Amino acid sequence: MPAHPAAASRTGAAESAGESATDFPFPATGVCWTARGVSCYLRRRDLMRIPSCQLRPFQPPFGAAVSWLLMMVLLAAAGCASVPEPPEGAAATGVVIVAPGMPPEPVSAVAPVVEPAVEASPQLEATPEVVMETESAPESAALPASLGRTTHHIRHENVRVIAVGDIMMGTAFPGPEYLNEHLEAGGALSDLIGPDLLALLQSGNVGFGNLEGTLYEGDGPTKPCSNPARCYAFRSPVAYAGLLAGMGFNLMSVANNHAGDFLDAGRESTMGALFENGIAFAGQDRPGARTASLALADGLSVGMAAFAPNKGTVSIHDFEGAEALVRELVAANDVVIVSFHGGAEGADYTRVIRAEEEFVGESRGDVYAFAHRMIDAGAHLVLGHGPHVPRAMELYNGRLIAYSLGNFWTWGRFNLKGANGIMPVLEVELSRTGRLLSARIHSARQVGWGVPRSDASGQALKLIADLSRQDFPESPLTFAPDGTLGWPE
């Protein structure tokens, strides 16, 4: 399938994939050449290998000193900044993408391993008895930790977050009829979602969403399904990563029940496609993918941790492990965002019940307790998704929690009736120290088979305001008719 014009093409499988980064005789270990240009991955022992990137280790047949000098000349020519070697025994816990001119930053200690929970189904199509089969735990190779950071080139004095919920723009599985013909034909995004919504998405310096599925074009197997006709597995073209970047997304959760739809091959292809397009990701329970750090153009650093109750993800059930990750991010970043995929699904589950939630016999987490504990651990903003409908928002200790951002762009295979088809685009401005400065809900809805458009009727705002008053009467949040959130200073 040809790449979409807005997408960066992939450049092939990693070379030297079986080599260890410890084989390199000097601290600056390699340069990754992608379709988007030169990226630098300079931490010894932590050199990332991504299937979509041609990795060419720089190993001239000279001594270590000469090798180091030649590497520095190469890096200077490429405009790359040197990154110091991590402390002995340390490993990066998340994806950090590097851009030219960024200052060095130390690596945090390795994250604790969190036991994943059982995977279960989303709210799919209109038939309530259709339940996706759970995935058997694959034997997956760890994704090596990442090394640097990427700059998002919109300059703001503060951190301006534009956040949405679930994204699955089309799937080639079980057949190409579930792909969006407009995207496949290379149509302009502004024609599809509208210039006003596109401008809003591009207006922040942090664009967040939950990638519900894989970016994968291989022929690898799906997770085991007892009934293939009712197996919901999402396999989107890898070019969609370029579309996401073009819309302004640079921070993505990959913690959900569809991240493992095509087992390890799908996971690795997805993470490679996101990385190649400058999108940091978090939420997979493997080195290099548990958390993310994003360096903004003005030098600010935004960290993110993502959690879910599904196999292969960082667990929403392990509060202590989650708190440890958040504290590490707080120590290393100016602003920290926590994302979770949790709660029961569908229009009957719009309420936050302040207790453990179950759906189709599986525990989906106590999202109320989890969100509060993440704030207590230092998170500045908590963004929820997973119920496929909007839920309430709460101000807790001066920090905002959005319990569900609903379905943003879920094409073809999702139930979009009623509350399932409306969603907020949340705009949040945080100070350089993470203080909540402003927030606003922009209402949107999905049309046709599932394409987002702005909604002048404000249905998402009205629903969220009503749910917030019901579920959190003690919260001081107010909701103005234009979507602006208010609270006492």
CATH number at residue 160: 3.60.21.10
Least confident of 66-80, 120-134, 273-287, 315-329: 120-134
The mean per-residue pLDDT over the stretch 373-387 comes to 98
Residue 56 has pLDDT above 50, yes or no: no
pLDDT greater than 90 at residue 266: yes
Of all residues in the chain, what percent carry a pLDDT higher than 90? 62
Q: Cβ–Cβ contacts within 10 Å for residue 157, how many?
A: 10
296 lies in the same domain as 369: yes
| Structure-model confidence comparison of residues 441 and 69, the more confident one | 441
Average the pLDDT over 58-70 and give the result: 51
DSSP string computed for 424-459:
EEEEEEE-TT--EEEEEEEEEEEETTTEEEE-TT-H
d(CA 432, CA 438): 13
Per-residue model confidence (pLDDT) at position 69:
60
pLDDT band at 72 (very low <50, low <70, confident <90, very high): low
If asked whether residues 63 and 205 sit together in one domain, one would say no
Give a yes or no: residue 325 inside a domain: yes
> What is the reported pLDDT for 237?
96
The total number of structural domains in the chain stands at 2
Instruction: Among 94, 120, 138, identify where a domain stops.
Output: 94
Here the tokens at position 125 are 């199509």
Any domain includes 201: yes
> Which residue reads 């990750």 in tokens?
325
CA distances to 45, 94, 99, 107, 421 from 89, in Å: 10, 16, 25, 11, 48
Question: For 187-199, what is each residue's pLDDT tens digit?
Answer: 899 999 999 999 9
Q: What is the mean pLDDT of the chain?
A: 76
Mean pLDDT of the region 327-331: 98
In a domain, 213, yes or no: yes
Say if residue 48 is in the same domain as residue 175: no
Residues 168 and 40 both lie in one domain: no
| Structure confidence at residue 250 (pLDDT) | 97
Residues 47 and 184 in one domain: no
Strand, coil or helix: 359: strand
- Looking only at the bridges linking them, the beta strands covering 393-396 and 399-402 are antiparallel
The stretch 414-426 carries a mean pLDDT of 94
Find the distance separating the first CA and the last CA of the chain, reported in whole Å.
53
- Residue, of 162 and 232, whose pLDDT is higher: 162
Task: Give the residue, 220 or 125, on which the prediction is more confident.
Answer: 220
Same domain, 270 and 360: yes
- The pLDDT value given to residue 32: 38
Residue 145 predicted with pLDDT over 70: no
Residue 459 scores a pLDDT above 90? yes
pLDDT value for 297: 84
Task: Point out the domain boundary residue: 65, 94, 123.
Answer: 94
Q: What does the buried/exposed string (b/e) look like for 265-286 if buried means 16 or more CB atoms within 10 Å of the residue's CB?
A: bbbbbbbbbbbbbbbbbbbbbb
218: in domain = yes
- Cα–Cα distance measured from residue 31 to residue 195, given in angstroms and rounded to the nearest whole number: 37
Q: What tokens were used for 443?
A: 């209402």
Report for 33-47, 230-244, 246-260: range of highest mean pLDDT: 246-260
228 inside domain = yes
Q: Is the CB of residue 240 less than 8 Å from the CB of residue 117?
A: no
Averaged pLDDT, 154-173:
89
Reading phi first (left if > 0) and then psi (alpha if -120 to 50, else beta), residue 136 is in: beta
Residue that wins the pLDDT comparison between 259 and 51? 259
The answer on 160 and 234 residing in a single domain is yes
Q: Assess if residue 427 is contained within a domain.
A: yes
Mean pLDDT value of segment 67-78: 56
In this model, does residue 383 exceed pLDDT 70? yes
Q: Which of 94, 114, 143 is the last residue of a domain?
A: 94
Q: Which residues contact 220 (CB under 8 A, 6 or more apart)?
A: 262, 263, 265, 266
Residue linked to tokens 């120290």: 433
Of 174 and 395, more confident: 395
Mean pLDDT over 51-75 rounds to 47
- Residue 446 covered by a domain: yes
Domain that includes residue 355, residue range: 151-486
Are residues 391 and 472 both part of a single domain? yes
Do 83 and 225 have their domain in common? no
Summarize pLDDT for 117-129 with one digit per residue, the tens. 333 344 443 322 2
Same domain (yes/no): 171, 80: no
Domain co-membership, 220 together with 90 = no
- Kindly state whether residues 400 and 280 are assigned to the same domain: yes
pLDDT at 81 over 90: no
